[in-house]
Chain A
Amino acid sequence: MSIEISAISDFSRHLPVLQVMVPFVAAPLCVLLNSRSLAWLIAFIASIAAFGISMLLLAQVIDGSVISYHMGGWAPPLGIEYRVDAANAFLLLIVSGIGAIVLLYARASVEAEIAPKNHILFYACYLLCLTGMLGVVITGDAFNVFVFLEISSLSTYVLVALGANRDKRALTAAYDYLIMGTIGATFFVIGIGLLYVSTGTLNMADLAVRIAEQGDNRTIRTALAFIVVGMGLKVAIYPLHLWLPNAYTYAPSAVTSFLAATATKVAVYVLLRFMFTIFQPAYLFEARTLEFIILPFALIAMFAASFVAIFQNDVKRLFAYSSIAQIGYMLLGISIVTKTGLTATIIHLFNHGITKGALFMALGAITLKTGSSFLDRLRGMGKLMPWTSAAIVIAGLSLIGVPGTAGFISKWVLVEGAIEKGWWWVAILVVASSLLAVIYVWKLIEVLYLSEPANGITKGEAPLTMMIPIWILALACIFFGLNTDVTLTAASTAAESLLGVAR
């Protein structure tokens, strides 16, 4: 009996490391077993396990407590620390949850889009990508962030390149992403290096303390600038977004869904962590960065990217640009700096994740039949694939922010945050830019429902293994629009824990 209890408590003590290790170990397993059907199964089981672990972790920290896990028993700041609080537990849940759902979807989608010889490679890379993201989120060590970031980035380049089976342009898209992503990562690691030079530590909590003690100097200011720009590239802050449209457009559907719902979110989280835990908005130089760099570019993104989306003919690309605009909302929440603003950012991470996940998956299901995601190929698909199209409508409404959907909640909190701060004009801009989303979503709905189907496409839905994940996320868009208990509590606790040190 007592052994059992200690086993359970052992297990729960090691949850933080298991969160990362489960997918990490499963990835080489896929390759070693060298069986296509097993590869999917292993990946799926691993992602479900990761999802379960993240739920257990969130349950432990939702009350505002913090788990600190010492890697290999080495105490921080010398050893690597995994540190779970409400903010990253929520992110872990998003990443692992989307990861599991998209994997369920991926089976049929990968079958159709990727050459059979690459299937095992795909699942292995997918798991590595998941590992990297989970690691970035969970770790409490600044350099460890970089390491995991590279793991996820390198596997992402491969995943994007796998789209080449369908469209050769995936190769250049992946190559461009590789070059740009590496530049971003380099900037990021330069920033961390500067921090290490001036403080002599890499542990985040320790960094925060030392920076607060010694006050800022040019090295530290430069470090922040490098980190913001380097991570900004991963976030796809407006003028640094150039890698994103091609990567999303040419990657396989499953990869696009996964990346759109998680990758940029993780980068936003890192930005949050560095700006609020390690540095403080109370430092004048950071406040100025937020006000003069993040805020204006967030606002530009909201409009410029939406306008581009309106004129796009390729729906995948359309939603890629819409993602850039939505990232604008998240950055806007950060630049508000108040608790409501951060809550808006964090809840939008989640709500936009499920919305875009549903949209890209449903779009992938349709492209499976039409062969292309260009608007004129999607004509009348509302009649031919009624369930898939209905999911697009629901998620589209959530993207606009129609009341009763998840998107409304994030926009509402964001507007509330802007008004609290006295930024009326920002609130008005948020609402105005939502109207642009109405236009491009409507454009799609009009094509789907109000025009006659193109010839040669038969009626019929995508396979059930694709429909289920699509509808899980579509229903989640509604569920989390009506029931805000979980998301809002988690997001506001997360915002509190991020601001905690500041108070």
Chain B
Amino acid sequence: MMPEQFPIAFLFIIAGLIVAFIPQGRGRVSFTMLVPIFAAWMIWNLQPGVYGQVEFFGLPMEMMRVDKLSTIFGLVFCLASFIGNLYAWHVRDTVQQVAALLYAGSAIGAVFAGDLVTLFIYWEGTALASVFLIWARRTEGAYYTGLRYLIIQVGSGVILLAGIVLLHGETGSITFEKMTLGSLATWLIFLAFGIKCAFPLLHNWLQDSYPAATITGTVILSAFTTKLAVYALARGFPGTEILIYIGAVMTLFPIFFAEIENDLRRVLAYSLNNQLGFMVVGIGIGTELSLNGTAAHAFAHILYKGLLFMSVGAVMYRTGTSKASELGGLYRTMPITAICCLVGAASISAFPLFSGFVSKSLILDASASNGYTLVWIALVFASAGVLSHSGIKIPFFAFFAHDSGKRPKEAPTHMLIAMVFTAFLCIFIGVFPEPLYALLPYPVDFQPYTTSHVVGQLQLLLFALLAFCVLMRTGIHPPEIRAINLDSDWTYRKFAPMVITKIAAVFSSVWTYQTTFWLGTFDRIVEGFYHSHGPEGRIARVWPTGAMVLWIAILLAGTLLVSFY
């Protein structure tokens, strides 16, 4: 088999099997880090084309479809896998190590899938592998969260499969190409992608599961599943207008939740959702510029979101909590982590010279230049929101704010290396965007550092910063007593207290109402079925022989009846 014929995903899967046989320790962890490097090298050397064609069951399958869109996602997945495994150097848990490799492998396999059946197989692969990162926390809460996560993810796969089967019935083809919404088949596929992409109202699994995973698990989870969905949408539905509006809503609504959330990892999960919105808008616009923007933003996003999760994870590793109310003042003893967190925050807020700026500008520009003014305004507003909840809230409450009195040690060395490396990449991309642009699917003729971009962005950011400072100053200056943390959290909410609480209250009451309604209905249905089908139920009871004879008679009569008339 020629090297390029070898599906990259198999590399991870084989490595995942080998890992279990390497003695636990540094050797094994180093091995898990080498795999993504080697894979990235292989991807880098791949020539565009279609490889690994096999006939499965009469269907032509393309294990490896290499073009620029799949390559950039493949590369960044390798990078994320490498960083994640480095960050997890201290973990001595076989389940997590194997799951992380299989998960990355499935995601990469899906990205290179040239047909929908291959896509489906890896699609389910990501679901199955990733749930172990949640279960690896080994608490009862994590178990049930994982189960909910798995049901939704596998459900997405089942919907995808249904769509594929229908599509195959309609067109006789299973190649994974651009589709247009219209038939039931394409809607089902779209819905399956949408669930993984955490479209509004389909998003709850994300905030539910990511904060429930292990510290390292969250870092790894944050990279793959949703970005795989972004890739799938970019491949399958570029230029689908409805995506623009879905994306715009996605950028906006998590802001409110992120603002009032106390658990920093959950804040990050909400902001992840919001960042996905930008990418979805880019896909919806569907021009070369905007698709470039989506790919670039996904690339940058995986890095800075990983960085933020890593820094919050490091805090959690040292202090045992990620609750804003229990943290603060950690910059004294965790300075490097704090700086890395700030870099991540600056990147996600799209400060000039940081990675978010060079990627987000592409999408913003595309939306403005294609006449989606309202959408553009929504995105700008959302950018300000990002600054407030991720850019300021995360580092502020974790590392500054008011001293929590905690004096944890600085993060372990391997975590620091992983974070500094990622932070370096964030800045490097921000300063020298050309290498990233060269990887994008379409030729790039774009200059992020024009006066209008920089000034516009700075205005936005500085004004938001100013607003925050003014509020912090003139609002209620938190007294320096032990109760302050909750206090400052509360003042922070004063930013827009009435509106947000109201919105959240309405949302949550609707949510609670409909959840209890459906759960109640479900319980009643199950009960009914148990009554009839349970071990003592009508259907399952051991019937006397006479009943059986009666049935034979009935069936015979029925058969005779239909034969004669």
Contact A243 B548 (CB under 8 A): yes
CA distance A247 to B226 in the complex (A): 49
CA distance A36 to B30 in the complex (A): 57
Contact B535 A246 (CB under 8 A): no
Contact A289 B562 (CB under 8 A): yes
Q: A293-B559, A311-B530, A415-B165 known; 8 other A-B pairs, CB under 8 Å?
A: A225-B559, A232-B555, A240-B548, A292-B558, A308-B533, A403-B124, A419-B166, A431-B158
| Interface mask (A428-441 → B, CB under 8 Å = 1, otherwise 0) | 10010001001000
In the complex with contacts A308-B540, A310-B533, A180-B558 CB distance below 8 A = no
Contact B169 A311 (CB under 8 A): no
Which of B117, B154, B529 interacts with A311 by CB under 8 Å? B529
Least Cβ distance of B258 to chain A in Å?
33
In the complex with contacts A224-B563, A233-B552, A311-B530, A293-B545 CB distance below 8 A = no
User: Is A450 interfacial (CB-CB < 8 Å)?
Assistant: yes
Contact A311 B558 (CB under 8 A): no
Contact A221 B563 (CB under 8 A): yes
Contact A228 B548 (CB under 8 A): no
CA distance A403 to B116 in the complex (A): 13
- Nearest B residue to A409 via CB reads B57
Contact B555 A313 (CB under 8 A): no
In the complex with contacts A225-B563, A289-B563, A292-B562, A240-B551 CB distance below 8 A = yes
- 3 nearest interchain CB pairs? A285-B563, A307-B533, A225-B559
Q: In the complex, which residues of chain B have a beta carbon less than 8 angstroms from the beta carbon of A409?
A: 57
Q: In the complex, which residues of chain B have a beta carbon less than 8 angstroms from the beta carbon of A184?
A: 552
Contact B57 A412 (CB under 8 A): yes
List which B505-551 residues lie within 8 A (CB) of chain A: 529-530, 532-535, 537, 539-540, 542-543, 545, 547-549, 551
In the complex with contacts A225-B563, A288-B562, A488-B57, A242-B533 CB distance below 8 A = no
CA distance A243 to B544 in the complex (A): 10
User: Is A304 interfacial (CB-CB < 8 Å)?
Assistant: yes
In the complex with contacts A224-B563, A285-B564, A307-B529 CB distance below 8 A = yes
Contact A239 B555 (CB under 8 A): yes
In the complex with contacts A304-B533, A308-B537, A311-B529, A427-B555 CB distance below 8 A = no
Contact B529 A242 (CB under 8 A): no
Sample 17 A-B pairs with CB under 8 A, ordered by A number: A180-B545, A224-B563, A225-B556, A237-B555, A239-B551, A289-B562, A293-B559, A307-B529, A307-B533, A311-B530, A321-B540, A402-B124, A415-B165, A420-B169, A428-B162, A482-B56, A488-B58
List which A386-427 residues lie within 8 A (CB) of chain B: 402-404, 409, 412, 415-416, 419-420, 427
In the complex with contacts A240-B551, A308-B539, A403-B533 CB distance below 8 A = no
In the complex with contacts A239-B555, A308-B540, A403-B120, A222-B57 CB distance below 8 A = no
Contact A289 B165 (CB under 8 A): no
User: Is B2 interfacial (CB-CB < 8 Å)?
Assistant: no
Instruction: Name which of A218, A308, A484 has the most chain B CB atoms within 10 A of its CB.
Output: A308
- Nearest B residue to A307 via CB reads B533
Instruction: Name which of B549, B552, B559 has the most chain A CB atoms within 10 A of its CB.
Output: B559
Contact B560 A304 (CB under 8 A): no
In the complex with contacts A224-B563, A412-B57, A431-B162, A311-B540 CB distance below 8 A = yes
In the complex with contacts A311-B529, A321-B540, A450-B143, A242-B551 CB distance below 8 A = yes
Q: In the complex, which residues of chain B have a beta carbon less than 8 angstroms from the beta carbon of A321?
A: 540
Q: In the complex, which residues of chain B have a beta carbon less than 8 angstroms from the beta carbon of A450?
A: 143
- Nearest B residue to A288 via CB reads B562
User: Is A229 interfacial (CB-CB < 8 Å)?
Assistant: yes
Q: In the complex, which residues of chain A have a beta carbon less than 8 angstroms from the beta carbon of B161?
A: 403, 431
Q: In the complex, which residues of chain A have a beta carbon less than 8 angstroms from the beta carbon of B17?
A: none
Q: In the complex, which residues of chain A have a beta carbon less than 8 angstroms from the beta carbon of B439?
A: none
Which of A242, A289, A311 interacts with B535 by CB under 8 Å? A311
Least Cβ distance of B53 to chain A in Å?
16
Least Cβ distance of A249 to chain B in Å?
10
Least Cβ distance of A296 to chain B in Å?
10
- Nearest B residue to A223 via CB reads B563
List which A11-67 residues lie within 8 A (CB) of chain B: none
User: Is B121 interfacial (CB-CB < 8 Å)?
Assistant: yes
Contact B542 A246 (CB under 8 A): yes
Contact A183 B552 (CB under 8 A): yes
Contact B549 A183 (CB under 8 A): yes
User: Is B554 interfacial (CB-CB < 8 Å)?
Assistant: yes
| Interface mask (A297-310 → B, CB under 8 Å = 1, otherwise 0) | 00000001001101
CA distance A245 to B267 in the complex (A): 53
| Interface mask (A247-265 → B, CB under 8 Å = 1, otherwise 0) | 0000000000000000000
Least Cβ distance of A340 to chain B in Å?
11
Q: In the complex, which residues of chain A have a beta carbon less than 8 angstroms from the beta carbon of B564?
A: 218, 221, 285
User: Is A312 interfacial (CB-CB < 8 Å)?
Assistant: yes
Contact B545 A176 (CB under 8 A): yes
User: Is A179 interfacial (CB-CB < 8 Å)?
Assistant: yes
Least Cβ distance of B368 to chain A in Å?
44
User: Is A226 interfacial (CB-CB < 8 Å)?
Assistant: yes
User: Is A157 interfacial (CB-CB < 8 Å)?
Assistant: no
- Nearest A residue to B165 via CB reads A415
List which B115-162 residues lie within 8 A (CB) of chain A: 117, 120-121, 124, 143, 154, 158, 161-162
In the complex with contacts A242-B548, A321-B540, A313-B535 CB distance below 8 A = yes
List which B162-195 residues lie within 8 A (CB) of chain A: 162, 165-166, 169
Q: In the complex, which residues of chain A have a beta carbon less than 8 angstroms from the beta carbon of B539?
A: 304, 307-308
- Nearest A residue to B551 via CB reads A239
Least Cβ distance of B448 to chain A in Å?
43
Q: In the complex, which residues of chain A have a beta carbon less than 8 angstroms from the beta carbon of B56?
A: 482, 484
CA distance A412 to B124 in the complex (A): 17
User: Is A187 interfacial (CB-CB < 8 Å)?
Assistant: yes
Contact B559 A435 (CB under 8 A): no
Which of B120, B154, B547, B560 interacts with A222 by CB under 8 Å? B560
| Interface mask (B39-61 → A, CB under 8 Å = 1, otherwise 0) | 00000000000000000111000
Least Cβ distance of A55 to chain B in Å?
23
Q: In the complex, which residues of chain B have a beta carbon less than 8 angstroms from the beta carbon of A482?
A: 56
Which of A180, A224, A286, A403 interacts with B548 by CB under 8 Å? A180
- Nearest B residue to A169 via CB reads B542
CA distance A187 to B559 in the complex (A): 13
CA distance A488 to B548 in the complex (A): 36
Q: In the complex, which residues of chain A have a beta carbon less than 8 angstroms from the beta carbon of B143?
A: 450
List which B70-126 residues lie within 8 A (CB) of chain A: 117, 120-121, 124
Contact B555 A404 (CB under 8 A): no
CA distance A484 to B169 in the complex (A): 20
Least Cβ distance of B544 to chain A in Å?
9
Contact B169 A419 (CB under 8 A): yes
In the complex with contacts A308-B539, A312-B535, A403-B124, A419-B165 CB distance below 8 A = yes
- Nearest B residue to A424 via CB reads B166
Contact A403 B555 (CB under 8 A): no
Q: In the complex, which residues of chain B have a beta carbon less than 8 angstroms from the beta carbon of A232?
A: 555
In the complex with contacts A240-B548, A403-B120, A427-B165, A229-B555 CB distance below 8 A = yes
Which of B154, B542, B560 interacts with A221 by CB under 8 Å? B560
Least Cβ distance of B5 to chain A in Å?
18
Q: In the complex, which residues of chain A have a beta carbon less than 8 angstroms from the beta carbon of B548?
A: 180, 183, 240, 242-243
Q: In the complex, which residues of chain A have a beta carbon less than 8 angstroms from the beta carbon of B540?
A: 245, 308, 311-312, 321
Contact A484 B555 (CB under 8 A): no
CA distance A237 to B563 in the complex (A): 18
- Nearest A residue to B57 via CB reads A484
In the complex with contacts A239-B554, A246-B542, A404-B121 CB distance below 8 A = yes
CA distance A233 to B556 in the complex (A): 11
Q: In the complex, which residues of chain A have a beta carbon less than 8 angstroms from the beta carbon of B57?
A: 409, 412, 484, 488
Q: In the complex, which residues of chain A have a beta carbon less than 8 angstroms from the beta carbon of B558?
A: 292-293
